[in-house]
Amino acid sequence: MRVYLMRDEVTLEGQQIRRFYDLRLLRSQTPVFTLSWSVMHPIDQHSPLYGMGVESLAQTHASIVVSLSGLDETVSQVITARHTYAAQDLLWNNRFMDIFYDTPEGHRYMDYSYFHEVVSLD
């Protein structure tokens, strides 16, 4: 998994440019993709997102590009996917809803009906 931030910036010379930043991930790969995978980028003083908010992301026309590549073991083919999120697509103070559940018999399953659902942290 690779994640990039793209945003408009002005150079020291006053030139308008579009810059690309690699976003460091806590885990950029997984040996097994049979379960879900929450990709996380820590927003700390080393992150290009540090100190940015809804307004600054919109003003700089920021977008986040997510690129995934891996091996589909069923057909032994490399698969790739890419998606771009505009600033207005980002949800603040939310997390994804847990999709893992346990049956009374002790079996674990995933309920994909909640796959895109989020929970507010406010």
What structural domains does the chain harbor? Answer: 2-89 (2.60.40.1400), 91-122 (no CATH)
The per-residue pLDDT for 10 is 95
Question: Residue 86 contacts by C-beta under 8 Å, 6 or more apart in sequence?
Answer: 62, 63
- The residue whose two tokens read 């989020």 is 118
The per-residue pLDDT for 50 is 96
The per-residue pLDDT for 83 is 97
pLDDT tens for each residue of the chain, 122 residues long:
999 999 999 999 999 999 999 999 999 998 877 777 889 999 999 999 999 999 999 999 999 999 999 988 889 899 999 999 999 999 999 999 999 999 999 999 989 999 899 999 98
Residue 57: helix, strand or coil by DSSP?
helix
The per-residue pLDDT for 69 is 93
The per-residue pLDDT for 72 is 84
The per-residue pLDDT for 38 is 85
The per-residue pLDDT for 59 is 96
